[in-house]
Structure 1
Amino acid sequence: METKDSNGNILNDGDSVHVVKDLKVKGMSTTLKRGNVIKGIRLTGSPHEVECRMGKSTVVLKTEFLKKA
């Protein structure tokens, strides 16, 4: 099972990704702006989702909104 970003590149644990679109995160007052770099992602059981740390909380993001850095 391969996890791919919006461009079809294969993602691995610890990769850095760019956000392709402004995203509102449920349960948080902040918005992830387009172009933000997220470092150290972790793969989940689903090929369409990855986990990352945003401050002190863990967030699950869909890979269709991410681009490998």
Structure 2
Amino acid sequence: MEVKDSNGNVLNDGDSVHLTKDLKVKGMSKTLKRGNVIKNIRLTGSPDEVECRVGKSTIVLKTQFLKKS
């Protein structure tokens, strides 16, 4: 299974990604801003989602809003 970012680049475990859009996350008072770097992503069973840590919480993000850095 290949997981690709918004530009079609293949993502792997441990990669760093940039956000391409401001994202409001349910259950968090914090909004993730465009351009933020998220390090050390983990792949899930779905080719459209990755798991990552933001602060102390673990969230799942859709790959259509990510760009490999």
TM-score range, shorter chain: over 0.9
Runs of 4+ in structure 1 off by over 6 angstroms are none
TM-score of the two chains, using structure 2 as the length reference = 0.99
- Structure 1 gaps, min length 5: none
- Structure 2 gaps, min length 5: none
Aligned length: 69
The match for 2:44 is 44
Q: Which has the higher strand share?
A: 2
Q: Tell me how large the CA RMSD over aligned residues is.
A: 0.3
The match for 2:12 is 12
TM-score of the two chains, using structure 1 as the length reference = 0.99
Percent same amino acid among aligned pairs?
Answer: 84
**Alpha-carbon distance in 1 for matches of 2:22, 2:32:** 6
